[in-house]
Structure 1
Amino acid sequence: MSEPPRFDRGHTDDLMSFLAASPTPYHAVANAAERLEKAGFRQVAETDAWDGTAGGKYLLRGGAIVAWYVPEGAEAHTPFRIVGAHTDSPNLRVKPRPDSGAHGWRQVAVEIYGGPLLNSWLDRDLGLAGRLSLRDGTTRLVDVDRPLLRVPQLAIHLDRAVNSDGLKLDKQRHMQPVWGLGEDVRDGDLIAFLEETAGLPDGSVTGWDLMVHPVEPPAYLGRDRELVAGPRMDNLLSVHAGTAALAAAAGRGSGLPSIPVLAAFDHEENGSQSDTGADGPLLGTVLERSVHARGGSLEDRARALAGTVCLSSDTGHAVHPNYAERHDPTHHPRVDGGPILKVNVNNRYATDGSGRAVFAAACEKAGVPFQTFVSNNAMPCGTTIGPITAARHGIRTVDIGVAILSMHSVRELCGAKDPFLLANALTAFLEG
């Protein structure tokens, strides 16, 4: 194994800034694109003709970003090395008719997105962010990053059994946040407020994709600041690491044996079936167009994909000190123990023995330790974009990630070193 990389807290500091600046998938891809622009990448439009020139390129579609670097001398059949991730997180999303209220309270009607830990959203100061679609056909990002909403919990005096019988939350009745006072609830109030906030003319917003987010910033935790608490680590931690790794691999320039790619999709938390999800055609179209832009044929495309490998990077479960019996007794991933290799023989994860060898080689090259995660046989196993990517594109895929606690909570918890170790392993993988 190579010498282990010396921990750079600057990477984790930058991750915390990325998390704070990315309350929605749309903000996350904009921030990833900004970092890639600084590394010399240039945006391409899907409606334009592409050329096969060397260099870094990326495209944005909604809450998804696909970026790639074509090294000098790349041939039409040169394979790809892909880091896959997702930009969305479980949260509360604003309904088409957002204005509601009762008993003198003004409220915002929300729908539950994905599988959040509902109790973690209670009694928190919440902001509102997302994408506004305008009458002229353009879009505008908006972020009200101040205490604006709150989902108030019922006082214990009105639910005396809550600590003995457990908290029971009805998604429709109990999760609607308040944002003010008033008896006269009028349709259009929330959107009018956002138009004013964004400096837009009255009536210019005709569509919206808005979501609630906690305004408390990420923070170091622990005696020696060895932990990080923050929102949306699942899975912006991987998006950030993948962006940093792609920029680092591109900085190597010539000599890369494959084409490094970052594919960060939206809608993983609800099945990936969308035009910006991993189960859509976006990645396959980009790879095919890249081959054709370099003069490749259908045969070249088949050869390129046959040699392609994808690391599907998503957060996983660290062993919980209060619930260790929920984990497999022989697989206890620890925070700051290095990235985890996820294995499930029923293909909830895409890793097999050959994939393990690819990841082990990347970690060895980077001097990074890694761990293995397997679910307890008595517990259902989650899944990722890994099996979808493998099945849809015929690409050898390996599921990996960083071990965290409190997954799907408003605030998740990881080791301060693990994001840095993951980025180093991804860089070694992308460099081939």
Structure 2
Amino acid sequence: MDSNLNSSLLDFIQRSPTPFHATDNLRSPLLDAGFEELHEAERWQTVTGGRYFVTRNGSSLVAFTLGEQPPSEHGFRMAGAHTDSPCLHIKPQPVTVQQGYYQLGVEVYGGALLNPWFDRDLSIAGRVSYQDSSKKLGHVLVDFKQAVASIPSLAIHLDRDANKSRSINAQKHLPPILMQTDEEGSPPGFRKLLRDTVRKQHPRLDIEEVLEFELSLYDCQPPAQIGLNGDFLAAARLDNLLSCYIGLRALLDSDNSRSKLLVCNDHEEVGSTSACGADGPFLKSVLQRLCSDSESMARCIDRSWMVSVDNAHGIHPNYADKHDGNHGPLLNHGPVIKTNASQRYATNSETAALFRLLCERAGVPVQSFVVRSDMACGSTIGPVTASNIGVRTLDAGVPTFAMHSIRELAGSQDTEYLYKALKEFFVY
């Protein structure tokens, strides 16, 4: 297996604590590879053989190459992933002081496992909007990088049933502690603290006042390849930065004879309904600009295929009864085809058969996942994208443990399996 692929993936995750950072870190290798950045407000002049990308909201990205034939003749090979992960978002007016401790109010973003957020070294990152000395609006990314906060657990002596049943109230129990202060009545303003941090990180930036921000907490523990034989990748945000990065590498490393596209959307974890989410117009808008008219667009879509790449639930050895016995994917045994009769996944027999064929051609093992019939099924950008633009779609991804935890676990071999399968898909 390619150890460089895993090390570069983990480095990407470490540098991408928020969707804004992830999108920025997807831009850099595209620019290095000669892709031209397009802007939605400008007229596009694309050519056969060209390589391009465009971002929206600084948190979603579409990258594509134009092959030898027009999209209306051969369609696109499209892979989709998402840049966001469950986390704790900092509220607009976050500061409270309790018992002399300076704390921040937070709200839960997505379906997060909350228990693992306790007793972690936490930092803060995101996007800051500010005015400069000329009263002009600006935006900048910020990452505190060092541990600045913690959410301490209540000692078991004060909660004897903690190991039997523990209820977490998101309003009362999740505000992190940042420091101690004697200023009960007028504690230090968070925007001032934020402005000072931005000035330290960007000393040439003219920032007079922080106006607004989109910030979240993240775990400072770096990603790692672990296990006695290095079998596992342990990291935050494997769901779904793993798919974003592997999709990017497959896009860059496959030849340009066929038109291909990678879309990485924000807001999947909260339903995808936003201007830059999969249930918004971003991807469709890009495709419409690449097709000369509605006729060409319809022909392009009918000749296209989409793989929605999002992590799957690996069968957990301690909780095997949570799986259908015939559909329990194993880590390091290849990507997983995800199906659901209620269309929570977009896979059908046609798209699943194509993926099996591609995996066989690439020499990659492939697995299946169906949720237990007596359990609810999650979803992905797959059904949303399929219903919005009408493209044939498959849901697939690498098996993972502890999905939506602050630290997830995937197989170190599955990254290369997925890479090979997607690379084969982009040229099929």
TM interval, shorter chain, is: over 0.9
The equivalent residue for 2:197 is 197
Shift of 1:379: 1.1
Matched with 1:414 is: 410
**Alignment match, 2:237:** 232
Q: Which residue of 2 aligns with 1:268?
A: 268
What is the alpha-carbon root mean square deviation over aligned residues? Answer: 1.3
Deviation for aligned residue 1:361:
2.0
Check if 1:246 corresponds to 2:251: yes
* 1:29-75 per-position Cα deviation (integer Å, ceiling 9, x unaligned): 11011111121111100001011313211111121011101124435
Pair 1:431 & 2:424 matched: no
- For this pair of structures, how many residues does the alignment match? 416
In the aligned structure 2, how far is the partner of 1:305 from the partner of 1:170? 46
In the alignment, which residue of structure 2 is the partner of 1:98? 94
- What is residue 281 of structure 1 aligned with on the other side? 281
**Which residue in 2 is equivalent to 1:181?**
180
Classify the secondary structure of the residue corresponding to 1:163: coil
Please point out which of 293, 297, 308 is paired with 1:297: 293
Q: Which of 24, 29, 38 in structure 1 is aligned with 2:23?
A: 29
Cα distance in structure 1, aligned partners of 2:33 and 2:365: 28
SS across alignment from 2:148: strand
Return the offset for 1:116. Answer: 0.7
1:347/1:75 CA distance change after superposition, 3 Å? closer
- Quote the residue 1:56 is aligned against: 51
Q: How far apart are 1:94 and its partner, in Å?
A: 0.7
Provide Cα deviations, 1:165-223, integer angstroms capped at 9, x if missing partner.
Answer: x1211111000000000132547622222221221556422111000000000011111
**Deviation of residue 265 (structure 1)?**
0.4
The 3 A distance-change label for structure 1 pair 380 and 284 is same
Aligned: 1:13 with 2:7: yes
Aligned equivalents of 1:75 and 1:143: distance in 2?
40
Contact 2:97–2:187 (CA<8 Å) still a contact in 1?
no
Instruction: Determine the C-alpha separation between the residues in 2 that align with 1:239 and 1:232.
Output: 11
Q: What CA distance in whole angstroms lies between the structure 1 residues aligned with 2:180 and 2:207?
A: 23
Report if aligned partners of 2:181, 2:187 keep a CA contact under 8 Å in 1. Answer: no
Cα pair distance change 1:75/1:305, threshold 3 Å: closer
Q: What per-residue deviation string (whole Å, max 9, x for no partner) do you get for residues 316-375 of structure 1?
A: 100000000000011110000000000111101010100111111221221111100011
* Counterpart residue type for residue 46 of structure 1: E
Structure 2 unmatched ranges of 5 or more: 200-204
Q: In the alignment, is the contact (CA less than 8 A) between 2:337 and 2:368 conserved in 1?
A: yes
SS state at 1:99 partner: strand
Between the aligned residues of both structures, percent identity stands at: 40
Write out per-residue CA displacement over residues 243-289 of structure 1, whole angstroms, 9 at most, x where no aligned residue: 1111112xx23x32xx1101110011110000010000000000110
One-letter amino acid of the counterpart of residue 281, structure 1: P
Residue by residue, what CA displacement relative to the aligned partner does 1:122-144 show, whole Å, maximum 9, x if unpaired?
Answer: 00000000001122222100001
After TM superposition, the score normalised by the length of structure 1 is: 0.94
Displacement of 1:78: 3.5
Equivalent in 192, 207, 213 of residue 208 of structure 1: 213
Q: Is the 8 A contact 1:97 1:187 kept in 2?
A: no
Equivalent residue in structure 1 for 2:41, among 23, 26, 47: 47
Does structure 2 retain, via aligned residues, the 8 Å contact 1:23–1:213?
yes
Paired residue type of 1:299 = E
Residues 75 and 25 of structure 1, relative CA distance in 2, 3 Å threshold: closer
Note if contact 2:80-2:308 (Cα within 8 Å) is conserved in structure 1: yes
Question: What code does the residue aligned with 1:224 have?
Answer: N
Task: Check the 8 A contact 1:348/1:387 in 2, yes or no.
Answer: yes
Aligned mates of 1:262, 1:73 — CA distance in 2: 18
Structure 1 stretch displaced more, 129-138 or 21-30 = 129-138
For the residues of structure 1 that align with 2:215 and 2:260, how far apart are their CA atoms? 32
Structure 2 contact 38–54 (Cα < 8 Å) conserved: yes
What corresponds to 1:168 in structure 2?
167
Question: CA separation in 1, counterparts of 2:148 and 2:158?
Answer: 26
Given that 1:221 and 1:229 are in contact with CA atoms closer than 8 Å, whether structure 2 keeps it comes out as yes
75 and 120 in structure 1: CA distance in 2 versus 1, 3 angstrom threshold:
closer
CA distance in structure 2 between the aligned counterparts of 1:52 and 1:267, rounded to whole angstroms? 29
